[in-house]
Structure 1
Amino acid sequence: MLNKQESQQRITRLQQELKAKGIDGALFIYPIDVYYFTGTRQNSTLWVPAEGKPRLMVRKSVSRAIKESCIEETVPFPSSKEFPALFPPELQKIGFTFDVAPVQQYNYYAKLLPGREFVDVSAINREIRSVKSEWELGQMRKSGDMICQVFREVPGFLKEGMREVDLAAEFECRLRKAGSEGYVRMRAFNQELFQGLAVSSAACDPGFFDGAVTGQGMSSASPHGASAAVIKANTPILVDYTGIFNGYIVDITRFFVIGKLAPELEHGFATALAIQKYLVDNLKPGVICEELFLKAAEMAEEAGLGRNFMGAPGENAKFVGHGVGLELDEFPVLAQGFKVPLRDGQTIAIEPKFVFPGQGVAGIENTFAVGKNGGVKLTDMPDEVVYL
């Protein structure tokens, strides 16, 4: 559980940013944001003034929030008549996370606090959360250790003739028994997934998910991940999963084959490893995110695989790495247009992958922490293809 010292450090960082930008305070209603600052995910609204003590106002469950919360003033949510009185007239500029707040909720709070200016603090919030403390890095190392234990068991149950969904079910069963919580939280609108994916012959199917590999899924209502397709010999098998322990996510992919790989797929995998090595060597504070993506794309092009990089031709994702933490899509992003420098302690899932329609998918993914000497691996196990 989150401790009070960690919670206070986060709130202090937020208050410093609010004061620097002339914002009088911030209201947080999105559950994972509330959890990040308070240590409880109960249905609550968090008020953090630029100066002074924060207040957590709980709708349900008040009793559990009081037990879990690191905020001294954890109280029941006030009535609509009482709420405005908690905000003196001098508090005029109110921060709100526009990236995730529904319009209905915005209108509700704007009505409770008429005449106030609501401003977007989404970027402030995400930038604070992108830099992990030593405590958080410890949580993510544990998550990495736990999911790697499950990945090591795959050769013992992966068999020719089983369906993709059978492989996924076996993997997910073991992952849950290991304690993974299963909540793959994502901030982006219209994105969702169920723990991860285990795909083989259906791996090349395009889909809505903003990633290199989507999978066919079990229906058009759930068009992501494993399908009922049968796993065959000499066909690449991609197992891409999240491990979530104490809320913290790591993302990892490993590559299996029963038999042999086609030369194109071997070349794709070797290129993915080379791209990963370059990115990890340069995962240092001050390096510009966009430049890393452009170099990765250049390496793919030089290998003759530019059109297959990060998706099937015409369906390519526009990134090669994404921040992870309490959510799967945190800052920073190794993507074109993301012209910001890396910071020490940020955690990134690097995933160079190649899609070859009609043949399969080749690639790798690991979670790393940005460090002074390059990326520090949090999913520490061998990267090589596992031949069965």
Structure 2
Amino acid sequence: MSMIDRFSDPTPRAEMERRWRAVREGMRARKLDALIVQGANNLAAGGGYFRWFTGLGALPNPAQTLIVPADGLMTLVSHGAAGRVVDLEDRDETLPGVGRRVFTANFPMVRYAAQQDAEAVAAEIARSGFQAVGLVGANAMYHGFASGLQRRAGNISWSDASDLVDDARAVKSEVELDFIRRAAAMQDDIFARIGAFIQPGMRDFEVMACAYYLGQTMGSQTGYFLGSSAAAGAPTPMLIRPFHGRTLREGDTLLLQAENSGPGGYFVHIARYFTLGKAPAELTDGFARMAEAQDFTVSLLSAGARCDEILAAYNDYMVRRGFPPERRVHCHGQGCDAVERPLAHAEETMAIAPGMNIGIHPSLSTDRLFVTVCDNFLTRSDGIAERLHKTPRRIVELN
């Protein structure tokens, strides 16, 4: 059995080549010799740049670093037997476009071992004679690696090339849209089935674990679940696993948000409420108001719309209705990362274009209530944003 036969939902080679061509056109325009792309912790929804370039999820902890030349095959530096080098020449189907693989003993929490990664990448840069190098997703790189690389690589011209790749990956291809639609359908199925599992006496983490299990059986690869439960009159904040120890009781409300990726590692997210009995009136009213706020945001997603203006229009909408202005990010792109550009943000320079996968989750928070509505939408050339999730926008009352 070959390794490619073990691959779960591989990205087609033609799609990978499309991505490389798009990025390399930008590299040549900027006169960049190479890009450095590092991926780590993809199990928790990071490492998306690396996955977009390779089709592979990053390892749980050790970083994998890709050197992308403006022409020719890529080099992968990854954890393994230190000093080992394999000339692949693009013969490994699980590593498309990779010509050379270099191994290091890479343990990020071990200072001296982590520096071997930087040394290996610097050596490959020198070997190839690169002079102008762009960092992609530098915010997600381990600091020790990035700082060590720049010290070791010598007289190199460095730049941040993240926006070059952001431009290429923001508008999804038909292959990517198929992955995204399947991810939304997977989450719809989770929400259709999870209600039958929820009952008094369970703790929050048991519900989250069931949702995670259902997703894994339907092709999910990475990601997480957020939410919490509370008695009537208390908020249900977006909490992570260490805070899922509360026990559900009759009359409680549970907020569940699925932020797990689907086939190909593509992210969408959805949030809904389940109540053990009749939903409190203030939750019902708040949910309806946030559904309207989501609809308003969707109406702003026309081709060419500026994201800073989307945020300003949304805040005006909220304030006119007596709600506080948005201080979080309530509207953003998704793909191989759980949050990627564009964002409805005052500093966002990217405009809305057809073919973007946009998550929208307006929210309202008070001492008694946290309410949100979360779904993903596909922007289209006809100006109508299509809701990808089919789960009804309603509170599910469990009897």
User: What TM-score bracket applies, with the shorter chain setting the length?
Assistant: 0.7 to 0.9
Q: CA deviation at 1:129?
A: 2.2
Report which stretch shifted further, 66-75 or 284-293.
Answer: 66-75
Number of paired residues? Answer: 353
Q: CA deviation at 1:242?
A: 1.7
C-alpha change, 1:20 and 1:386, in structure 2 (3 Å) is same
Q: Which runs of 5+ in 1 are unaligned?
A: 185-194, 207-211, 311-316
Matched to 1:243, the amino acid is: N
C-alpha change, 1:138 and 1:202, in structure 2 (3 Å) is farther
Match of 1:336 among 327, 346, 355: 346
C-alpha change, 1:298 and 1:227, in structure 2 (3 Å) is farther
Q: Deviations over 1:96-151 (max 9, x none)?
A: 13222233212443355311111111222233222211111100111111111110
Q: Which residue pairs with 1:209 in the alignment?
A: none
SS in 1 for 2:297: helix
Q: CA deviation at 1:77?
A: 5.0
Q: Which residue pairs with 2:394 in the alignment?
A: 384
Q: CA deviation at 1:228?
A: 1.5
Q: Which residue pairs with 2:321 in the alignment?
A: 303
SS in 2 for 1:67: coil
Distance in 2 (alpha carbons) for counterparts of 1:267 and 1:127: 39
Q: Which residue pairs with 1:86 in the alignment?
A: 127
Contact 2:231 2:253 in 1 (8 A): no
Match of 2:78 among 59, 71, 85: 59
Distance in 1 (alpha carbons) for counterparts of 2:233 and 2:177: 34
Q: Which residue pairs with 1:188 in the alignment?
A: none
Contact 1:324 1:349 in 2 (8 A): yes
Match of 2:183 among 143, 161, 181: 143
Distance in 2 (alpha carbons) for counterparts of 1:27 and 1:162: 46
2:28 is the alignment partner of 1:19:
yes
Contact 2:269 2:375 in 1 (8 A): yes
Contact 1:204 1:355 in 2 (8 A): no
Distance in 2 (alpha carbons) for counterparts of 1:204 and 1:291: 35
Distance in 1 (alpha carbons) for counterparts of 2:396 and 2:125: 61
Q: CA deviation at 1:341?
A: 1.3
2:52 is the alignment partner of 1:36:
yes
1:226-305 equivalence runs, <5 A: 226-233=244-251, 235-245=252-262, 246-305=264-323
1:67-216 equivalence runs, <5 A: 67-71=93-97, 73-76=99-102, 83-88=124-129, 91-97=130-136, 98-181=138-221, 183-184=222-223, 195-201=224-230, 213-215=237-239
Q: Deviations over 1:39-76 (max 9, x none)?
A: 234664322233x2132234346699933011052434
Q: Which residue pairs with 1:346 in the alignment?
A: 356
Q: Which runs of 5+ in 2 are unaligned?
A: 1-9, 41-46, 81-85, 105-118
Matched to 1:34, the amino acid is: F
Distance in 2 (alpha carbons) for counterparts of 1:335 and 1:84: 36
TM, length-normalised to structure 2? 0.78
Contact 2:38 2:66 in 1 (8 A): yes
Distance in 1 (alpha carbons) for counterparts of 2:37 and 2:387: 32
The structure carrying a bigger helix percent of its residues is: 2
Distance in 1 (alpha carbons) for counterparts of 2:164 and 2:73: 17
Q: Which residue pairs with 1:314 in the alignment?
A: none
Distance in 2 (alpha carbons) for counterparts of 1:301 and 1:379: 28
Distance in 1 (alpha carbons) for counterparts of 2:198 and 2:374: 20
Distance in 2 (alpha carbons) for counterparts of 1:231 and 1:298: 39
1:354-373 equivalence runs, <5 A: 354-358=364-368, 360-372=369-381, 373=383
TM, length-normalised to structure 1? 0.80
Contact 1:257 1:387 in 2 (8 A): yes
Distance in 1 (alpha carbons) for counterparts of 2:124 and 2:289: 58
Q: CA deviation at 1:252?
A: 0.5
Contact 1:2 1:70 in 2 (8 A): no
Q: Deviations over 1:157-181 (max 9, x none)?
A: 2224433223223322322333322
SS in 2 for 1:230: coil
* Superposed CA RMSD: 3.0
SS in 2 for 1:200: strand
Report which stretch shifted further, 36-45 or 282-291.
Answer: 36-45
SS in 1 for 2:176: helix
